[in-house]
Structure 1
Amino acid sequence: MSSLAAKQAEILRQDGNTCFKKDRFAAAIEAYTEAITLCPNVPVYWTNRALCHLKRNDWKRVEEDCRRAVELDHHSVKGHYMLGLALLQRKVYAEGVKKLEKALDLGRGANPNGYMVEEIWQELATARYLTWEHEATERSWNLQNLREACVAALKQKQFLDTSDTEGFVDENGKSNLDQLEGLACVFDKAAENDTPTELPDYLCCKITLDIFRDPVITPCGITYERAVILEHLLKVGKFDPITREPLYAYQLVPNLAIKEAVRAYLEKHGWAYKTE
């Protein structure tokens, strides 16, 4: 790649950025495409063009450009992030979640308090819920089919009459109705983890009311989301927002117990919790 080509490509990138800011996405795509033609191994040209495609809801091209971007730069936060979004649009949930998780890890490493970390987290939470919902629907369908098959087999075995409440009593003294009720309890229990639940209060920040990502505990024993309490200390004052006791950033300690509790809860429930 010659220095002249590199300079021309950078000028084209800047032109593309200008067009993008004016919502002239077609013109921006054209500029980024020319930059790519001159310097195809610069990942930012690919992610910039992918963002334009995203604005136009052209998810196929978003995926194509982002795959190329992450090939060129395995640490591209935007590349992994937009690739994850594109995969979710195709309902490729498992791979989409992995790409968003990668983007979140890279984003936290580069700038833990950056705006993209929060944005990626929200998209990841949504993606995981969609994954759970998709899998839960499939499991529920299979469970219902199995339930119906078991009920039919039990009826056939015990020769239930048309009332569905009378019939034989087995060697353990259980009637057909008892067996059917027991079967229903088994299947109801199996379906419990596929029912969305409200998040427990102790897993949520008292300021944002959202689930903890990076919980820290104060000397007063109250746990907050790190970024939120740091912003409070910076913009509002050096005091605990609940107890009003003096509080400084150096006094905040990671609450590893709550962090592990959050991880365990989300793992158990498959992110099957209700969100706004």
Structure 2
Amino acid sequence: MPPKMLMCCVCTNAFPLSMAGYRFVPKGSSILDKSSPLLQETEAHYILGLALLEREQYHDATNHLEKALDLGRGGSAGSYMVEEIWLELAKARYTEWQVEAAKRQRQQRELKDSLFDLMMQDYENKLRDLKLESSTEQAQFGYRDPNRVSHLTDEEVSAYHIERHPVKESQVTAEERRKAELFQLTGDFQDRLRTMEEVFDKAGAPDRPGEVPDYLCCQISMDIFRDPVITPSGVTYERSILLEHLCKVGKFDPITRATLHPEQVAPNLAVKDAVQTFLSQNGWAYKM
């Protein structure tokens, strides 16, 4: 179904009437010929994207808003509300990231709790086995009931006294070994806990807001690039910011001051790809 027909079906049947019949008119620009196929297609994708965003269908919403943005950039300068389309797209992307990030964080917490329980259970089992082993050694090496000595024969009593000193040495050795094993067991458990924390910390890093690298930001607006263009001087700017400068301030590069005309700028595809890669891995950067 063509986007225009989809837009009509969604907007009139599933959304407030105030959205039905909405007309996409570029803010601060002249009204174009409404019969223009490019304008109609851009309008259809834009409004359908907004409608899907209202229904919290973020994936489909972003697809249509991205299509509207691409079509808008393909028009003549100032003909389309590229900035406003971008803002709606950024809103959709950020909201989608929030939903997905909350889901991932919940899953990670549940997995972390389950893993901790298993590790704790394993530690307690080994600790219990170690204590049982210690108790068995004590039963084997001594702590004999003094009352039983009176029932022993003379030979048994003599043998008992001869054994007393070696038994104590054996007990001390066993106790030292038990303490060493306990220390090792506890140390290993703590190391595993630290490793687990590090793994989950790294796994959650993309969902924690940070700083956008300077090379991905326009030197004039200081915002992350949306449509980066490069000048003959080798400086990259946000297209709308640079064109506004050339129109209102003068025909020269804002930084190098070299003479510059709008037709001399070209898309910086390398930076654009870098921005898209960064945004795909750090959805929080869509927040405006």
Question: Shorter-chain-normalised TM-score: which range?
Answer: 0.5 to 0.7
Pair 250,104 (structure 1): closer, same or farther in 2 beyond 3 Å? closer
Structure 1 gap segments, 5+ residues each: 1-42, 67-72
C-alpha RMSD over aligned residues: 3.3
Counterpart for residue 232 of structure 1: 245
Q: 1:243 and 1:99 mapped to 2: Cα distance? A: 38
2:223 matched to 1:258? no
2:121 matched to 1:134? no
CA contact (8 A) 2:52 2:61 kept: yes
CA contact (8 A) 2:220 2:237 kept: yes
The DSSP-based 3-state class of the residue aligned with 1:273 is: helix
Q: 2:214 and 2:89 mapped to 1: Cα distance? A: 21
Q: 4+ runs of 1 displaced by more than 4 Å?
A: 60-66
Decide which moves more: 245-254 or 176-185: 245-254
Counterpart for residue 85 of structure 1: 50
Counterpart for residue 273 of structure 1: 285
Decide which moves more: 115-124 or 238-247: 238-247
Counterpart for residue 209 of structure 2: 196
Identity %: 46
Give matches, 1:23-172, under 5 Å. 59-61=15-17, 76-111=41-76, 113-159=78-124, 169=184
The DSSP-based 3-state class of the residue aligned with 2:81 is: helix
**TM-score normalized by the length of structure 2:** 0.64
The DSSP-based 3-state class of the residue aligned with 1:199 is: coil
Pair 232,76 (structure 1): closer, same or farther in 2 beyond 3 Å? same
Partner AA of 1:206 in structure 2? Q
CA apart distance, 1:148: 0.2
Counterpart for residue 245 of structure 1: 258
Structure 2 gap segments, 5+ residues each: 23-36, 128-180
CA contact (8 A) 1:199 1:274 kept: no
CA apart distance, 1:248: 2.6
The DSSP-based 3-state class of the residue aligned with 2:285 is: coil
Counterpart for residue 26 of structure 1: none
Q: 2:100 and 2:196 mapped to 1: Cα distance? A: 23
**TM-score normalized by the length of structure 1:** 0.67
Pair 103,62 (structure 1): closer, same or farther in 2 beyond 3 Å? farther
The DSSP-based 3-state class of the residue aligned with 1:175 is: helix
For the pair shown, the structure with the greater C-alpha radius of gyration is: 2
Decide which moves more: 230-239 or 145-154: 230-239
Partner AA of 1:273 in structure 2? A
Q: 1:236 and 1:85 mapped to 2: Cα distance? A: 35
CA contact (8 A) 1:159 1:168 kept: no
CA apart distance, 1:116: 1.9
Q: Which structure has more RCO (C-alpha within 8 Å, separation ≥ 6)? A: 2
